[in-house]
Every structure is written in C-alpha cells, then in structure tokens.
C-alpha cells in the first residue's frame, strides 16, 4: 500500500519502518524545518550561551483539539515556552512528541503541525527533536502531545518564592479566564462560544523584556490550570505571606464573565494560557506595569493586589467590588456546570 494515498494514521505509521519514515519526511520535517532537526540524529546538539540551563516538560491532552484562538499544537509549543519564560529563562529549543490514535485524519495532523510550527517560528524557539508513536484505536483520545524545552537563565535574574515579602505588588498582563471559558463553552455548546477566544500565546518575549529592564521582579508564574486562585495560593503557602487581591482591578472580558456566570464558574479558578503573574518590589511596580502595557500581550496589564503579612497562617483574600472580603481558596478539582 502506498502511504501517500493514506488519509488516516495507521498503526504502521508508528512501527519504525518505511511508513514512519515517510510520515516524518513528508508531514513533520517540512513543517519544523531547521538545521538541527534536519540532522535526524538520536539527540539534538545545542549551543547554549549560559552556564545555567532551565529544563521543563509538559503533556497536552486538550479537548476539543481546535478552539477559537488556538489548538493543541499551538498550546503544546506556547505552554512549554511559558514554563521556561516564567522561570526567568530565554527559551532555546523544544522537543515535540506525538502519541496518535490509529485512524486519526492526516489532514487534521497537518493542521496541528502547521500551527505548532507557526507558534515555534513566532517565538523563535526551534523544535529540534521529536518522536511519533501510534496506538490502537480507542487507546488515546485522538492525539496527545508532549513537549520538553530547554532555555538559558537570563543573567542576573533570581526568581524564587523566598524573595517574596510583604509590600510587594502583584501584576497580571491581562484579562483572566479567556482560555478556560473558551474550552468549556465549546465543550458545553453554549450559544455565544464564537465570541470567546483563548489567550493562548507565548509570553517569553514579554518576560524577557521585563527581566532585562527591571531588577525588581521577584517571582513569576503562568496561571494555567487552577487559574489565578491556584497560583496565588501557591505563592501564599510557599512564601508564608498572605495575598490581598482587589477584585475591581482584575481585568475580565464581559463575554468571558457572562459565560462563567452562565456555567457557574468562578473566573479566579479558570485556566489561562497567555498570562503571567508577576510579583514585584513595590518601587518597581509602575515600571514593570509600563513595560507590560507597551507590549502586545500586556495592553490590559494591571496591579491586582499585594503581598501582606500573614496573621493566622497564609491566606488569599479578595476585596470585592462592594467592599466585602472573602477567601480565595485553592480550587478543589473538577468544576461542574450548575443547573439553574
């Protein structure tokens, strides 16, 4: 059988033989073209320009595979780049590994690979290694992707929970909940899903700019699964300080808020994919805010709260728009759509 005729992934595409080779040569390499990958060695050789290397990995299983504002390919590239970025690194290279279910449409795979390639080009972080496995129909949900990334620590940058102290300000680079509500609304099929758009993006350009310009940044984290609530609780618990958030200052898109209200979600718990939470010395807060607002991914950046002394143990507390106070807890698992 000629695989050039194949429209669907066959088990043989993962068997290590001619079909595997053709899939790599015809579908994957043209998308991710770069000199290092073209060598097709068992391991990529990289020239890194600093002694301190950051290394991370993440797996992507998002459903639906395509959503307004992105897809699993873009997400797999941006997500891992962002993990490096918030660690204070300049991302240098990625690996990109596929686990594909037998019968998966090759056209769909092409779209995912094109999107991943575009995200990698835009972020200027090449994909230099990869792997493809095919599993029997029913053994995976279409396609899963794993990416790993290496980056070099920016000179003089020291980000850690240990540096966080009362008085520090907390900045976010834009509106919260866009990614999670886009995915949820597409899953639930709510009527205004087309108005929602994931914020899926690589924030490395923004974080590198901030870190090169300001020495006042103490900690950064991308508030993905579990949203802002999970990130801030982690900051509070690990730094042994409390966090005071101001609801009125947290940027939210009205459509995202409406979708969250309709499905009964608290946006503080909803995932983001192009956001970064920055804990910064109070004296440097305005400078960092200015840098964010001058960047395409930070136009709606805002100082959303501050670090305070903890009284009876670290907590995250929200000052609501009407002046009330309430706790913001670590989200506790799966959220269920409400019924009325």
Partner 1 sequence: MLNRIYEAQRLMGAACEALGRQINIMEVCGTHTVSIFRNGIRTTLPERLKMLSGPGCPVCVTDQGYIDITLQLADRDDCIIATYGDMIRVPGKEGSLETRHKPNVKVVLSSEDALTLAKDNPEKTVVFIAVGFETTAPATAVAVAEAVQTGVDNFCVLSGHKLVVPAMEALLSEKNHKIDAFLCPGHVSVIIGSDAYIPVVERFRRPCVVAGFEPMQVIEGIGQICRQLAEKTAKVGSIYDAVVTPEGNTTAQRIISEYFQPVDGYWRGLGSIPNSTLKLKTKYSRFDALKRFGVDEVPGEDLSGCRCGEVLCGLIDPTECALFEAKCTPDGPVGPCMVSSEGACAAWYKYGRGQKRNS
In the bound state with partner 1, the residue whose beta carbon lies nearer, of 5 and 332, is: 332
* b/e 155-185 (16+ beta carbons within 10 angstroms → b): eebebebeebeeebbbbbbbbbbbbbbbbbb
Contact assessment for residue 214 and residue 281, using Cβ atoms and an 8 Å cutoff: no
**Dist. CA 95–CA 251, nearest whole Å:** 34
Q: Please report, as residue ranges, which positions from 110 to 129 form the binding site for partner 1 (by CB under 8 A).
A: none
Contact assessment for residue 46 and residue 150, using Cβ atoms and an 8 Å cutoff: yes
| Interaction of residue 1 with partner 1, rule CB under 8 A | no
Q: How many residues bind partner 1 (CB under 8 A)?
A: 26
Q: How far is CA 145 from CA 31, 41, 100, 198, in A?
A: 16, 21, 8, 19
Per-residue binding string, partner 1, 295-324, x by CB under 8 A, is --------------------x-xxxxxxxx
In the bound state with partner 1, the residue whose beta carbon lies nearer, of 29 and 319, is: 319
| Of residues 238, 248, 250, the one with CA closest to residue 171 | 250
CB of 210 to partner 1, least distance (A): 32
In the bound state with partner 1, the residue whose beta carbon lies nearer, of 43 and 322, is: 322
Q: 308: how many CB neighbours lie within 10 A of its CB?
A: 17
Q: 192: how many CB neighbours lie within 10 A of its CB?
A: 11
Q: Please report, as residue ranges, which positions from 185 to 224 form the binding site for partner 1 (by CB under 8 A).
A: 188-190
CB of 139 to partner 1, least distance (A): 17
| Of residues 199, 222, 236, 262, the one with CA closest to residue 330 | 236
CB of 87 to partner 1, least distance (A): 30
Contact assessment for residue 63 and residue 184, using Cβ atoms and an 8 Å cutoff: no
CB of 317 to partner 1, least distance (A): 7
CB of 298 to partner 1, least distance (A): 28
CB of 326 to partner 1, least distance (A): 4
Among 166, 167, 264, 294, binds partner 1 (CB under 8 A): 264
**Dist. CA 95–CA 32, nearest whole Å:** 11
**Dist. CA 80–CA 67, nearest whole Å:** 19
In the bound state with partner 1, the residue whose beta carbon lies nearer, of 100 and 260, is: 260
Q: Please report, as residue ranges, which positions from 11 to 40 form the binding site for partner 1 (by CB under 8 A).
A: none
In the bound state with partner 1, the residue whose beta carbon lies nearer, of 160 and 320, is: 320
**Dist. CA 166–CA 239, nearest whole Å:** 10
CB of 264 to partner 1, least distance (A): 5
In the bound state with partner 1, the residue whose beta carbon lies nearer, of 18 and 321, is: 321
| Interaction of residue 266 with partner 1, rule CB under 8 A | yes
- Residue 249, exposed/middle/buried by CB under 10 A (0-12, 13-18, 19+)? middle
CB of 336 to partner 1, least distance (A): 4
- Residues engaged in binding partner 1 (CB under 8 A): 188-190, 264, 266, 315, 317-327, 329, 332-333, 335-340
């Amino acid at each position: 059988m000629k695989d050039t005729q194949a429209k669907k992934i066959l088990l043989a595409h993962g068997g290590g033989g001619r079909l595997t080779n053709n899939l790599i040569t015809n579908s994957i390499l043209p998308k991710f073209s770069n000199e290092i990958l073209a060598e097709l060695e068992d391991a990529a050789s990289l020239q890194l320009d600093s002694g301190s290397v950051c290394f991370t990995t993440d797996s992507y299983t998002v459903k639906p595979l395509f959503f307004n504002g992105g897809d699993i390919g873009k997400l797999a590239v941006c997500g891992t780049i962002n993990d490096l970025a918030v660690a204070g690194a300049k991302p240098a290279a990625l690996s990109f590994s596929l686990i594909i279910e037998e019968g998966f449409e090759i056209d769909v795979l092409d779209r995912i690979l094109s999107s991943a390639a575009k995200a990698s080009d835009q972020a200027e972080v090449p994909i230099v290694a990869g792997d493809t496995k095919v599993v029997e129909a029913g053994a995976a949900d279409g396609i899963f992707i794993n990416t790993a990334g290496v980056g070099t620590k920016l000179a003089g940058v020291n980000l850690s929970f240990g540096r966080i102290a009362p008085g520090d300000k907390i900045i976010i680079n834009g509106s919260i909940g866009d990614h999670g509500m886009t995915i949820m609304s597409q899953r639930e099929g709510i009527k205004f899903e087309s108005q929602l758009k994931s914020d899926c993006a690589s924030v490395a350009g923004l974080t590198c700019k901030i870190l090169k310009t300001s020495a006042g940044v103490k900690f950064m984290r991308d508030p993905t699964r579990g949203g802002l609530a999970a990130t801030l609780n982690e900051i509070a618990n690990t730094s042994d300080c409390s966090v005071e958030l101001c609801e009125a200052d947290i940027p939210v898109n009205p459509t995202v808020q409406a979708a969250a209200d309709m499905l009964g979600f608290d946006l503080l718990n909803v995932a983001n994919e192009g956001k970064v939470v920055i804990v910064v010395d109070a004296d440097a807060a305005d400078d960092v805010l200015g840098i964010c607002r001058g960047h395409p991914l930070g136009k709606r950046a805002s100082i959303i709260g501050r670090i305070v002394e903890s009284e009876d143990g670290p907590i995250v507390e929200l000052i609501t728009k009407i002046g009330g106070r309430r706790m913001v807890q670590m989200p506790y698992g799966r959220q269920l759509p409400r019924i009325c």
